[in-house]
Amino acid sequence: MSDALTIGFLGAGKMATALAQGWIQAGLTTAQHVCASDPVAAAREQFTKTTGAAALTDNSQVVRQCQTIVLAVKPQSMADLLSEIKPSVSAKHLIISIAAGITIKQIAGVLGDDKRIIRVMPNTPCLVGASASAFAASSAATAADVQLTERLLSSVGRAMQVQEKLLDAVTGLSGSGPAFVAIMIEALADGGVRMGLPRDLAMMLAMQTVLGSAKLLLELGLHPGELKDMVASPAGTTIAGIQALERGGMRAALIDAVEAATLRAVELGKQ
């Protein structure tokens, strides 16, 4: 592999595969300049099938071959991984971690304070180029490292640099959020079925409604309250439904969900 923009993924799971696929499709790198490692054969096979890039069993070999290294293992596996790759990590490497809860300080504590480290929290909509990502850089990371990270993440959605102390909350909101939204969509569809709609029609209407509402807010720059007021006419159907949501405590439940996910991210870092 050349030194152009070689990217190695340590962990070849769904998120790593999605990011690799997105970066290749965006033309930021090529399959020949990407590789991954994973102990699970099925993960390696799926990574190669999806991206066209090589997948190996040796983490250190990936580090030696690539200049940008993406730490894509589960938080519980990070300590062992860092100890394993430490001898192979040099000044040429940019280390990008997508592990929930694992701090820059923890990574630098093993690899060295002089290492260029970026901590990132992407989310699964990167599979379709619609990720919401946030990232924080170590003091050793350069302006070029930050620009590269932003370019990579922006190619699969929207990205924003933040203070590292905010990343656990980012994990709780946008990292876990797709699952919360999926439950909302499923519940909306169930409501449609309850009122007589065929399941496939109810599901399509629910999914497109959520997609269209988010698109409207983003593109017109509206506050969610403005969209709510646009739809809710006096004594109409929507305000009746909103009252039912308030009775059910929907707002509080979503706030609690983000809080619980954030606190779990903090726990994972401590473990």
- Regarding whether 190 and 119 lie in a shared domain, the answer is no
Task: Dump strand ranges (E) for the chain.
Answer: 7-10, 34-37, 54-56, 68-71, 94-97, 116-121, 131-137, 157-161
Average pLDDT over residues 221-238: 96
Asked if the structure places residue 172 within a domain, the reply is no
pLDDT tier at 1, thresholds 50, 70, 90: very low
- Regarding whether 216 and 142 lie in a shared domain, the answer is no
- Regarding whether 127 and 22 lie in a shared domain, the answer is yes
- Regarding whether 215 and 151 lie in a shared domain, the answer is no
- Regarding whether 205 and 75 lie in a shared domain, the answer is no
- Regarding whether 93 and 132 lie in a shared domain, the answer is yes
Query: pLDDT tens digit string along 19-75?
Result: 999 999 889 999 999 999 999 999 999 999 999 999 999 999 999 999 999 999 998
Asked if the structure places residue 1 within a domain, the reply is no
- Regarding whether 156 and 25 lie in a shared domain, the answer is yes
pLDDT tier at 127, thresholds 50, 70, 90: confident
Q: Does residue 11 carry a pLDDT above 60? A: yes
**DSSP per-residue letters across 124-163:** GGGGGT-EEEEEEE-TT--HHHHHHHHHHHHTTEEEEE--
